[in-house]
Amino acid sequence: MKILKPEFAANRDLVQRFLNEARAANAIHHPYIIDIIDVGLLPEGVPYMMMEFLAGESLAARNPTGAAPVRERGGEACPANRLGLGRRACRWQSFIAI
């Protein structure tokens, strides 16, 4: 589950960006992109997105050298790049080794 920090929930632009991220993830329709199960607001008005669970670790945890993100190495490894969503989507933290 991904939850926007409560201190950012009052910022309409950040909330919209958060919701757009959920829509974008579901628009990709790729077997290697996580599914968003639900999006909504918590009782306090804080946005959340419920994602499928993947057991594993991020490539950031496996990349102690801090080598260049996938986008900087050609980008085709990340389907989000083809939709112009790659800047934030294609980070080491976004890839899970299962």
Q: Same domain for 42 and 70?
A: no
Structural domain of 46: 1-53
Strands 36-41 and 47-51 turn out to be: antiparallel
**SS3 assignment, position 58:** strand
Could you read off the pLDDT of 6-50 as tens digits, one per residue?
999 999 999 998 888 888 877 877 777 778 889 989 999 899 999
From 67, 63, 50, select the one nearest 97 (Cα to Cα).
63
Q: Same domain for 29 and 64?
A: no
Q: Indicate whether this model's pTM tops 0.75.
A: no
Q: Same domain for 84 and 37?
A: no
Which strands make up the sheet holding 2-3, listed edge to edge?
A: 2-3, 47-51, 36-41
| Model confidence band, residue 53 (pLDDT cutoffs 50, 70, 90) | confident
**SS3 assignment, position 56:** coil
Q: Same domain for 43 and 58?
A: no
